Amino acid sequence: LKLAKSFYKGKMQTEAEGEAERPSREIVDAMRKLQETIYTNAFYQKHDLRKAMVDLYSTHLLVANLCIRTDEEMEKVKHILDLYHDKISRLVQDGLVLTFQGLGLLNETELYMQVFNDDALRTLKDVSTTIRSALMASGVHVLPQKSFVGQITVFKYNEDQVARGLKIQDDLWMPLMYSQFGQQPVRCLQLCNIHDKPRWSYYRVEWQRSLEARQDKRA
92 closest CA partner among 66, 65, 128, 62: 128
HEC string of the chain equals CCHHHCEEEEEEECCCCCCCCCCCHHHHHHHHHHHHHHHHHHHHCCCCCHHHECCHHHCCEEEEEEECCCHHHHHHHHHHHHHHHHHHHHHCCCCEEEEEEEEEEECCCEEEEEECCHHHHHHHHHHHHHHHHHHHHCCCEECCCCCCCCEEEEEECCHHHHHCCCCCCHHHHHHHCCCEEEEEEECEEEEEECCCCCCCCCCEEEEEEECCHHHHHHC
Owning domain of residue 36: 3-218
* Mean pLDDT, 10 residues at a time, the chain of 219 residues: 39 47 82 96 88 87 89 93 94 87 95 93 93 95 85 92 92 96 90 77 85 51
pTM over 0.85: no
- Beta bridge partner(s), residue 103: 113
Q: What is the largest CA-CA distance in the chain?
A: 56
Per-residue pLDDT at 123: 93
The number of beta carbons lying within 10 Å of the beta carbon of residue 15 is 19
Per-residue pLDDT at 23: 77
Per-residue pLDDT at 81: 95
The structural domain count of the chain equals 1
- How, if at all, do strands 7-13 and 61-67 pair? antiparallel
153 Cβ contact partners less than 8 Å away, ≥ 6 residues apart: 54, 110, 111, 112
Amino acid letter for position 127: V
Task: Write the CATH number for 92.
Answer: 3.90.1140.10
pLDDT in tens, 3-55: 223 455 555 554 433 445 467 889 999 999 999 999 999 998 888 898 899 98
Per-residue pLDDT at 87: 94
